[in-house]
Amino acid sequence: MSEAGRAGGACDQGATILADVAIIGAGLAGTSTAIVLAEAGYRVALIDAQAVYPSEFRGEKLDLDHMAVLDRLGLGSVVRPLVTPMEKSRIYRYGRLVSKTHLREYGFSYGSLINGLRAALPPMATFVRGRVAGLTTGPDRQRVELTDGTVTEARLVVLATGLGDAVRRHAGLRRIETSRGHSLSLGFNMALPRPEFSFDTLTYYGFRPVDRMAYLTLFPIDGAMRGNLFVYRTAGDPWTRAFRQDPQPILRELAPDIAELCGDFRIAGSVDIRQIDLTITEDPRRDGIVLIGDAFCTTCPAPGVGFRRVVTDVERLCSVHLPRWFETPGMGADKIARFYNDRVKRRVDGASIASSFYARGIVTGTGLLWDARRVRNAVVRQTLSRLAHSFQPDRQPGRS
């Protein structure tokens, strides 16, 4: 019998692992949860089909608020060596430079971040490589069976499988699409290296409804300058195929005002494309199993709310609910429901979902209401910009 207890250690095939918590899915949500719980003294089995997380196009940018949550979880010291800090920021709206600020943000490669987190698993966590073949949950004990015969028994199962549906079906849960083809994220590396750019990060907001563009952002990851473009299109759109084949002329058309500043948008390598479907799990309250992160619901990355939603789930589960659940026997659905009813989680989830729909509407929405909102936003931003400039000290001619 093999008990959870070796940092990142792989158990023998066919073994039985006894744990307090079995976490299925070792992405951001699952691995972060494993580290926090193991550091708190819980025996954790972290289950994933892949020993090394592959290169995958997901979120690639953090801000100070995100890092603050990671610090509260004790993960900041693990994450900081894995990310690239940036401070000098330029913001363009309506084709004009409206702001030069010093704003601390961080760029990262998702796969490298996850593998770095996995390498930091404490001794009370065991990494179990395998695919789930069966899942039995109940009000007291949970059982996870893998295809190689390995069995994990635990008081609680945490489902952190992201968009994967196989384990969700084993648990008798159904995912509902609330907005299919909601948006499209495109990622690429600029041909010029980071030192050739006069800024750390740049954000250029779309302003022509015909472009269906939320914004383009450029930022560093290690020595490269990375580009992320968010548009409201689908993977099968002819526009998407054209961008994949030759992104440079399309970027010039979308953001002509910054082409010279951005090396004429010369791209190195291929373009990563990810279609975003908004989903939520129907009636997730079950004995013995709790869903976190994208396994519970998905939101659009364009408003920048996804990372905060995931780490909020991790924080509320690990810092508030799970310790209380383990104080008394049993793991019934009544206990699990307290996590989904958590006021902080509900507020963050609700705001994330609302901002996903609003961000799309403000770009693509038609009719008088959306027209009025766009005019209002433009007036407010212009007024705030004038106020900010009026409070700046006098500058010498030619100085910026």
Domain count, the chain: 1
Residue 391 lies in a domain: no
Structure tokens that stand for 138 in this block = 């109940």
Please tell me the predicted confidence (pLDDT) of residue 384: 54
The C-alpha atoms of residue 229 and residue 246 are separated, in whole angstroms, by 14
Residue 48 lies in a domain: yes
Residue 328 lies in a domain: yes
Residue 187 lies in a domain: no
**Percent of the chain surpassing pLDDT 70:** 91
The C-alpha atoms of residue 24 and residue 133 are separated, in whole angstroms, by 12
Residue 131 lies in a domain: yes
Q: What is the DSSP letter of 187?
A: E
Q: Give 126-146 as a DSSP string.
A: EEEE--EEEEE--SS-EEEEE
Residue 213 lies in a domain: no
pLDDT higher than threshold 80 for residue 391 = no
Residue 44 lies in a domain: yes
The C-alpha atoms of residue 90 and residue 200 are separated, in whole angstroms, by 8
Which residue range(s) make up the domain with 116? 16-57+110-178+278-359
Backbone phi and psi for residue 44, each to the nearest 5 degrees, phi listed first: -125, 135
Please tell me the predicted confidence (pLDDT) of residue 383: 62
Residue 272 lies in a domain: no
Please tell me the predicted confidence (pLDDT) of residue 81: 98
Q: Give 318-383 as a DSSP string.
A: IIIIHHHHTTSS---HHHHHHHHT-HHHHHHHHHHHHHHHHHHHHHH--SHHHHHHHHHHHHHHHH
The C-alpha atoms of residue 271 and residue 69 are separated, in whole angstroms, by 31
Q: What is the DSSP letter of 259?
A: T
For residues 397 and 174, the model is more confident at 174
Supply the CATH number for residue 303's domain.
Answer: 3.50.50.60
pLDDT band at 337; cut points 50, 70, 90:
very high
pLDDT higher than threshold 90 for residue 4 = no
